[in-house]
Amino acid sequence: MSAPSQDNALRSAIYWRALIYSVLIVIAVIYLAPLFVMVVTSLKSLDEIRSGNMMSLPIEVTFEPWIQAWSSACLGLECSGIKGFFWNSIKMVVPAVAISAVLGAFNGYVLTKWRFRGHNIIFGMMLFACFIPFQIVLLPMSQVLGFLGLANTTSGLVLVHVVYGLGFTTLFFRNYYEAFPNELIRAAIMDGAGFFTIFKRVLLPSSGPILVVSVIWQFTNIWNDFIFGASFASGDSAPITVALNNLVNSSTGVKEYNVHMAAAITAALPTLLVYVVAGRYFVRGLMAGSVKG
């Protein structure tokens, strides 16, 4: 290769890199815009919001809206902010995610390593369950929860979320364990290990990535759910999305946008945190088998 052409190649490579970086950064800025608007609004006073540009930085930063949203904003007749509801959501989401992930793992294990006749039909039926619109199950679900004596309880809400999350977690684990070498299982059976022992010693140690995918997926869905929360929990046991909706959709009075935005960001923090902390494992987990066709 002659020097000039090398120069040219180098130069065009640099141009390419610059182009790629600028495209990526422009898109990132666009993606951040809504969050940016929310954050700056939550730090402005009401007067500044009314008179200013919503994209502009706050002239005077105030944390008052955050304090109000957390502990003194009125939702209905109670004026103690959204903090109580935040814990309601935690109480609901932790057991629901744990149970659906455990059940999904066992289901995936059975459907790949202990197959029996009709396993595909059963899996297909479980998978199709992911696609039902939730609005149709509200009424029959109310009746069933009433019958079980779980209406308006956190446990009832956990049950609902576990049921409608099972299809997803089963799918994730099944596709993941599908790729897991059967020889290891056979070897373990030769050693006289039983059903649960094999799961514990052979599959579980390498289930990290897919566990992360399941947990992120379930956590996000359950934490953000509104329709079930509004229908099956109420008053003091309402999850945070219901409380947030009560705050933002107030029918009268001055709309305190800064408080609303602060409350909205607070409500979104746990899921954001999960994504930021576990984001890299998420892609890894997807790679590890759940995107297989």
Binder among 158, 185, 212, 215 for other proteins (CB under 8 A): 158
- Identity of the amino acid at 253: G
Residue 223 CB, shortest distance to other proteins, in Å, is 8
Establish if 63 lies at the interface with other proteins (CB under 8 A).
no
Q: How far is CA 233 from CA 99, 118, 158, 241, 269, in A?
A: 19, 38, 11, 11, 22
Instruction: Rank residues 18 and 61 by Cβ distance to other proteins and give the closer one.
Output: 18
* Nearer of residues 205 and 252 to other proteins, judged by Cβ: 252
When asked if residue 130 is in the footprint of other proteins (CB under 8 A), the reply is yes
Instruction: Return the bridge partners of 75, or none.
Output: 78
Tokens of 215: 């947990």
For tokens 């599908």, name the residue.
178
CB of 7 to other proteins, least distance (A): 19
When asked if residue 159 is in the footprint of other proteins (CB under 8 A), the reply is: yes
CA distance 231 to 157: 9
C-beta of 70 vs 106, nearer to other proteins: 106
- As a dihedral over the C-alpha atoms of residue 280, residue 282, residue 287, residue 291, rounded to 10 degrees, the angle is -150
Is 224 among the residues that bind other proteins (CB under 8 A)?
yes
Q: Measured between alpha carbons, how far is 187 from 113 in angstroms, rounded to an integer?
A: 13
Q: Among residues 5, 51, 182, 249, which is the contact residue for other proteins, using CB under 8 A?
A: 249
Euclidean distance between CA atoms 15 and 37, whole angstroms: 33
Round to whole Å and give the CA distance between 49 and 42: 9
Of the residues 82, 101, 162, 215, which one makes contact with other proteins according to CB under 8 A: 162
Beta strands in 9-150 (DSSP E): none
Q: Which of residues 163-202 bind other proteins (CB under 8 A)?
A: 163-164, 166-167, 170, 178, 192, 194-197
Closest residue by Cα to residue 263 from 79, 74, 65: 65
Site for other proteins in 195-214 (CB under 8 A): 195-197
- DSSP letter for each residue of 242-262: HHHHHHHT-SSS---HHHHHH
Binding part of the chain for other proteins, among 1-9, 61-69, 89-97, 180-188 by CB under 8 A, reads 89-97
- Classify residue 58 by its DSSP letter: P
Considering only CA atoms, which of 131, 209, 201 is closest in space to residue 176?
Answer: 209
Tell which positions 257-286 bind other proteins, by CB under 8 A: 257, 260-261, 264-265, 267-268, 271-272, 274-276, 279-280, 282-284, 286
Q: Is 135 in the site for other proteins (CB under 8 A)?
A: yes
Assess 99 for contact with other proteins (CB under 8 A). yes
Residue among 68, 207, 214, 237 that touches other proteins (CB under 8 A): 237
